[in-house]
Chains A and B, each alone.
Chain A
Amino acid sequence: MSYKTLLARTAAAAVLGLSMIAPATGWAEEFIEGTFPPLKAGKPYAGATINVPTQKGWASFAPAVELTKNFEEMTGIKVQYDMIPGSDIPSKQLLAVSQNTGTYDIVTQHATSFGSFFRFLTPMTERIEGVWGSVDKFEDWVFPAQKGVKNTDGQHYFMPFHANAQIGYYRKDLFENAEEQAAFKAKYGYDLAPPTTIQQVKDIAAFFTRPDKNLYGLTTNWGGGQGYAAFLGYYSDAGFDLLGADYKPTMKTPEGRQAAIDVLNFMQGSIHKDKIVNPDSANFQTGQVSDFFLSGSSAMAYGWLSDYWSFMQKPENIKQVGPVGAFRFPSFAGEPKGGYSSWWMMGIPKDSKNPDAAWEYIKWILNEHPQIEMAAGQLPPIKDLAYRTAVEPGGINPRALYDAFVEAKITTQVPEMSQQPRTKGVELYTEVIANKITPEQFVDGYVAEIEKTLTAAGYIK
């Protein structure tokens, strides 16, 4: 099924579904036909201008920006985007809403930093009930990760609009080459295929690392903040959340400590000891991983690579590497336990000048049309839509992305964790990955920082 057919069918299904509901509820009079979540008919907020912050240069969100004119025509609401560099996304918005500047009508946040915003946002419960009938129905409509976004009062303050997970890519021309397969089997005793264990990742990467041919086994986004997030993702997929129920760092337990050290030994050793990952990976973000992989310099790649899936399906873009396959990156625990997900959300700040118009926008961004348009490179947070884009034949996302996301988690949100411990965590991480300190030193330093911050904040008694 082609992408256009998929789009047409989903739109038709939505219209059909709504036309069945409409006579009984008077929906058609109140809401714009064919929209779900439904947008109010009659343009009640026409003339309002809402200021929406978003990440600068974010390819996945670009289709939504393109389609905004549709929203503006339907509602009469004008949308102004504030494109903020990724690193300033939390601080710029936090400064604005905490000082009651009324700058933003919407707050756009990522799963790693939203906890700091709760005190400045309005709860969504009433609005959710108004659309889905109950919070339970809404939670069933989206992935379970959304439950991890609730505040301690049990209310939702954010609505998701983008889901993602880190996955691996591999070169089919190498993996499906008969000579390579035979040589690999002779050396390691099992068939060459996308890895399902960390040991297999190491074996395959070592097998394909050929300095004389300018080829590495694996390239990764282990630079700075993304590398730190990758570490946390592996740690989570090994079965450990960063904080326990008592808010103490799980890395303080013997099991957690060992798991973190294992993960870091793998990351550090792959670059500096085994040399199966290109050293530049210690500074790479996903875009650079994609470039490096597409230049034919690596057999496998890891990162937020679904963003580049559609791009890599076009023959003109993969001349140097041939067809590309995707795999779910294995867990350090053997069985996957769910890594951390990328979960982007929007909330309405208390100082919003147009909260109702902002809610119309949030509903619109969750509609099928913008979601499907944005789905090339992301997963809609809506379960059914995500399934259609990644699992059903002809889907525009790799199956591995869906598989990686189903069990993905949201990191425990303690506002204080977003600042000092994170900065310290990134600093320590960059020292580990540069081989300046040992994994044990990382764990000791990071645990001490978390404990210091959370004790001062009163979480740890």
Chain B
Amino acid sequence: MSHMASPAARTDRLGQYLLGALLALPFLYIAVFYAYPIYKVVSLSLRDFQIAYGIDDWIGLGNYTELLSSAETWRTLGRTLLYTAICVGVSFGLGLGMALLTVSLADAFSERFGRVFRHIAIAPMIFIPAAAGVMWAFAYTEHYGWVNHILIALGFQAYPWMVSDAAFFLVMVTDIWGWTPFIYLILLAALQSLPQEPIEAARVDGANAWQVFRHVTFPLLKPVIVIALTIKTLDTYRAFDYLWIMTNGGPGTSSTTLNLATYKTAFQNLDFGKASALAVITMIFPLTVMILFLAFRRRQAQ
């Protein structure tokens, strides 16, 4: 009796192998690009690894102990959370307000009017962050910047904004300016795709504009808002470009966030062990946000 499989069976087996290989690819991708780098960072965080001096010693939780007992680490964490909270909060408020205004303008006047407003509102998105950072840093200079030119025209004195404590908050302004259009676009798309029946019904029942928004529109928008806030929160928490370009984390460390601190520790101090520990500490907040987001989704599904 022949042990040779029929051509159909061979094709079937080949298909299974191919399917297996295709299914293995995502696992391979996750292993190579997710799991291994995280493993590497965690293992480096347990070492005193300073290449400039040829130091590479296992020190267990030494880096974590040192970092967590340093007041500067906690100040940096607080600064990072403040930056995230203000940028996300204000961007969300402005983005939502602008989205509602766009819809109202389109309703009250014409679709064209709403479209023009939309084009103006998303204009900051055309700037790459590096260019926007340079542009805004220049705007705040004491001598050349248009911000001071306006102040002088109004009878005030020029102020060296970027050489003061205001620098950190001015980076936030730039971040809000650059990212509000993102929130705006997401919320506008959501607003425009909402079912009109519940809104119409509420109006017929005599609800005013605020009541319609509070009890109908907002609950309907909630899933999209949660997604937008999650994305924006994670992105703002990881902010680097505006901060680095506009202030280099200064003056002093007054605008140094966890990301900047990790970069400085790794690439200026060349202390990769401590930088890895800082990176692991930095990951705790995004993980918490993701867990909360998943919990929200689960509850929503139930």
Chain A contact residues: helix, strand, loop or mixed: helix
Least Cβ distance of B52 to chain A in Å? Answer: 4
| Chain-A contact segment, one of B28-36, B182-190, B244-252 | B244-252
Contact, CB under 8 Å: B271 / A279:
no
| Chain-A contact segment, one of B4-12, B112-120, B161-169, B213-221 | B161-169
Known: A91-B270, A423-B264, A431-B251. A280 touches B52 (CB 8 A): no
* Set of chain A residues within 8 Å of B267, measured between Cβ atoms: 88, 91
Contact, CB under 8 Å: B251 / A457:
no
B269 at the interface (CB under 8 A from A): yes
A418 to B268 alpha-carbon distance, docked (Å): 9
Contact, CB under 8 Å: B268 / A280:
no
Selected contact of A279 from candidates B50, B163, B250, B253, CB within 8 Å = B163
Contact, CB under 8 Å: A428 / B252:
yes
Least Cβ distance of B281 to chain A in Å? Answer: 19
B141 at the interface (CB under 8 A from A): yes
Contact, CB under 8 Å: A224 / B252:
no
* Set of chain B residues within 8 Å of A224, measured between Cβ atoms: 248, 250
| Chain-B contact segment, one of A242-250, A311-319, A432-440 | A432-440
Contact, CB under 8 Å: B252 / A436:
yes
Contact, CB under 8 Å: A95 / B51:
yes
Which residues 109-134 of A have a CB within 8 angstroms of B?
Answer: 116, 119
A433 to B252 alpha-carbon distance, docked (Å): 9
B254 at the interface (CB under 8 A from A): yes
Which residues 33-68 of B have a CB within 8 angstroms of A?
Answer: 50-54
Least Cβ distance of A118 to chain B in Å? Answer: 11
Contact, CB under 8 Å: A434 / B268:
no
A419 at the interface (CB under 8 A from B): yes
Contact, CB under 8 Å: A283 / B162:
yes
Q: In chain A, what residue has the closest Cβ to B248?
A: A224
Can you list, as one digit per residue, whether each of A68-112 has a CB less than 8 Å from chain B (1) or not (0)? 000000000000000000001001001100110000000000000
A207 at the interface (CB under 8 A from B): no
B142 at the interface (CB under 8 A from A): yes
Least Cβ distance of B32 to chain A in Å? Answer: 20
B198 at the interface (CB under 8 A from A): no
A409 at the interface (CB under 8 A from B): no
Can you list, as one digit per residue, whether each of A416-450 has a CB less than 8 Å from chain B (1) or not (0)? 10111011000110110111110000000000000
B160 at the interface (CB under 8 A from A): yes
Selected contact of B254 from candidates A95, A99, A436, CB within 8 Å = A436
B143 at the interface (CB under 8 A from A): yes
Q: In chain A, what residue has the closest Cβ to B252?
A: A431
Least Cβ distance of B157 to chain A in Å? Answer: 9
* Set of chain A residues within 8 Å of B269, measured between Cβ atoms: 419-420, 423
Contact, CB under 8 Å: A436 / B141:
no
A415 to B163 alpha-carbon distance, docked (Å): 31
Least Cβ distance of B257 to chain A in Å? Answer: 14
Contact, CB under 8 Å: B251 / A436:
yes
A344 at the interface (CB under 8 A from B): no
* Set of chain A residues within 8 Å of B141, measured between Cβ atoms: 280, 283
* Set of chain A residues within 8 Å of B250, measured between Cβ atoms: 224, 427, 430-431, 434
A220 at the interface (CB under 8 A from B): no
* Set of chain B residues within 8 Å of A423, measured between Cβ atoms: 264, 268-269
Considering residues A116, A214, A282, A283, which has the most beta carbons from chain B within 10 angstroms of its beta carbon?
Answer: A283
Least Cβ distance of A419 to chain B in Å? Answer: 4
Which residues 268-320 of A have a CB within 8 angstroms of B?
Answer: 271, 278-280, 282-283, 292, 297
Contact, CB under 8 Å: B271 / A278:
no
A116 to B51 alpha-carbon distance, docked (Å): 9
Selected contact of A415 from candidates B52, B144, B268, B271, CB within 8 Å = B52
Least Cβ distance of B102 to chain A in Å? Answer: 38
A427 to B251 alpha-carbon distance, docked (Å): 7
* Set of chain B residues within 8 Å of A431, measured between Cβ atoms: 250-252, 254
Contact, CB under 8 Å: A280 / B160:
yes
Known: A91-B270, A433-B163, A434-B164. A280 touches B143 (CB 8 A): yes
Q: In chain B, what residue has the closest Cβ to A423?
A: B268
Contact, CB under 8 Å: B143 / A430:
no
Contact, CB under 8 Å: A94 / B52:
yes
Least Cβ distance of B13 to chain A in Å? Answer: 44
* Set of chain A residues within 8 Å of B248, measured between Cβ atoms: 224, 430
A430 to B254 alpha-carbon distance, docked (Å): 10
Least Cβ distance of A430 to chain B in Å? Answer: 4
* Set of chain B residues within 8 Å of A427, measured between Cβ atoms: 249-250, 252-253
Q: In chain B, what residue has the closest Cβ to A437?
A: B252
Known: A278-B143, A280-B143, A434-B163. A419 touches B252 (CB 8 A): no
* Set of chain A residues within 8 Å of B143, measured between Cβ atoms: 214, 278, 280, 292, 297
A419 to B252 alpha-carbon distance, docked (Å): 16
Can you list, as one digit per residue, whether each of B174-203 has a CB less than 8 Å from chain A (1) or not (0)? 000000000000000000000000000000
* Set of chain A residues within 8 Å of B249, measured between Cβ atoms: 427
Can you list, as one digit per residue, whether each of B250-263 has a CB less than 8 Å from chain A (1) or not (0)? 11111000000000
Considering residues B50, B52, B269, B271, which has the most beta carbons from chain A within 10 angstroms of its beta carbon?
Answer: B52
Least Cβ distance of B23 to chain A in Å? Answer: 35
With A91-B267, A99-B51, A278-B142 given, can you name 12 additional A-B contacts, CB distance below 8 Å?
A278-B143, A279-B163, A280-B143, A280-B144, A416-B53, A419-B50, A419-B270, A430-B250, A431-B252, A433-B163, A436-B251, A437-B252
Which residue numbers of A lie inside 8 Å of B, CB to CB?
A: 88, 91, 94-95, 98-99, 116, 119, 214, 224, 271, 278-280, 282-283, 292, 297, 415-416, 418-420, 422-423, 427-428, 430-431, 433-437, 457
Which residue numbers of B lie inside 8 Å of A, CB to CB?
A: 50-54, 141-144, 160, 162-165, 248-254, 264, 267-271
Query: Can you report 22 residue pairs joining A to B where beta carbons are below 8 Å apart?
Result: A91-B268, A94-B52, A94-B270, A95-B51, A99-B51, A116-B53, A214-B143, A224-B248, A279-B142, A279-B160, A280-B141, A280-B162, A292-B143, A416-B53, A419-B270, A419-B271, A420-B269, A423-B268, A427-B252, A427-B253, A428-B252, A430-B252
5 tightest CB-CB pairs across the interface, nearest first? Answer: A279-B160, A431-B252, A434-B251, A430-B250, A282-B163
